[in-house]
Homo-oligomer: A and B are copies of this chain.
Amino acid sequence: MAKRNTKELILTTSLELFNQFGEPHVTTNHIADEADISPGNLYYHFRSKDDIVIELFKRFLTRFQPLVEISDQMLLQAEDLWFQLHLSFELKGEFRFLYRNLSDLTARIPDLDRAMRGLLKRERQSAWNSLSGLEKAGVINIDSRQKEMLADSILLALTYWIPFSELFDPNGMEDSSAQTRAIARVLLSVTPHLQDPEKTQFTDLAYQYLSHPA
């Protein structure tokens, strides 16, 4: 019991510090200090700093996995799409340090690189599936190349909205406006391809949340 507590403590402390200061600027001493344990104790529970990052990533992955298992029949309503994006963005925000230094982390940690690439692949697939669903429902009108490029655009926005938002408002991830704007951007990248009445529905929903963030 006590065993688990310290390990958890290290993880939650690390996550907080990584998110706040950026993973490269947080040292193991810093973590130990903040968690009120000794550096030696930290290394009793984790082999290395990278190990902490990997463990945090695993936690993220476990919770994120269900959110990217999207068939082509799940997200046909604007509200469903919004809600799914909301859940996924919320979770990414909780682990935002991962997305702030993505290139660096993947370059440094091969395990993370593999896992992240797999995740991105599945995320792209789920974006593609969502578009397919709208297509089958006769709601969207789009040729296959455009569909692929759109899925890529969505994936890009899904992957980099966090550092992008922080560029303009470094501490802005605390409130939810950055998140809301990011979701709206994704939705509004799809709406131009839609037919009415769905086009208006999706657009209005995006505007509604932009005005009154959930």
Q: How far is the CA of A95 from the CA of B100 in the complex (A)?
A: 19
Q: Let me know if A159 is at the binding interface, CB within 8 A.
A: yes
User: What 1/0 mask marks residues of chain A from 104 to 143 whose CB sits below 8 Å from any chain B CB?
Assistant: 1011000000001100100000000000000000000000
Given contacts A24-B104, A103-B22, contact A117 B153 (CB under 8 A): no
CB of A163 to closest CB in B, whole Å: 5
* Nearest chain B residue, comparing its CB with the CB of A187: B149
Chain A contact patch, size range: 35 or more
Task: From A45-53, A70-78, A83-91, A188-196, give the one contacting chain B.
Answer: A188-196
* Nearest chain B residue, comparing its CB with the CB of A194: B192
Partner of A156, one of B22, B103, B185: B185
Q: How many copies of the chain does the oligomer comprise?
A: 2
Q: Let me know if A61 is at the binding interface, CB within 8 A.
A: no
- Summarize A's interface: helix, strand, loop or mixed: helix
Partner of A22, one of B104, B153, B166: B104
Contacts of A155 in B (CB 8 A): 164
Q: How far is the CA of A55 from the CA of B210 in the complex (A)?
A: 40
Q: How far is the CA of A181 from the CA of B153 in the complex (A)?
A: 10
Contacts of A192 in B (CB 8 A): 192-193
Task: Add 11 more A-B contacts to A149-B181, A150-B188, A153-B189 (CB < 8 A).
Answer: A25-B107, A101-B101, A102-B167, A103-B167, A145-B210, A152-B181, A152-B185, A153-B153, A155-B164, A156-B185, A159-B164
Name 8 A/B residue pairs within 8 A (Cβ), A-sorted. A22-B104, A146-B188, A149-B184, A149-B188, A150-B188, A156-B185, A160-B160, A160-B163
**Could you tell me which A residues sit within 8 Å of B by CB distance?**
22, 24-25, 100-104, 106-107, 116-117, 120, 145-146, 149-150, 152-153, 155-157, 159-161, 163-164, 166-168, 181, 184-185, 188-189, 192-193, 203, 207, 210
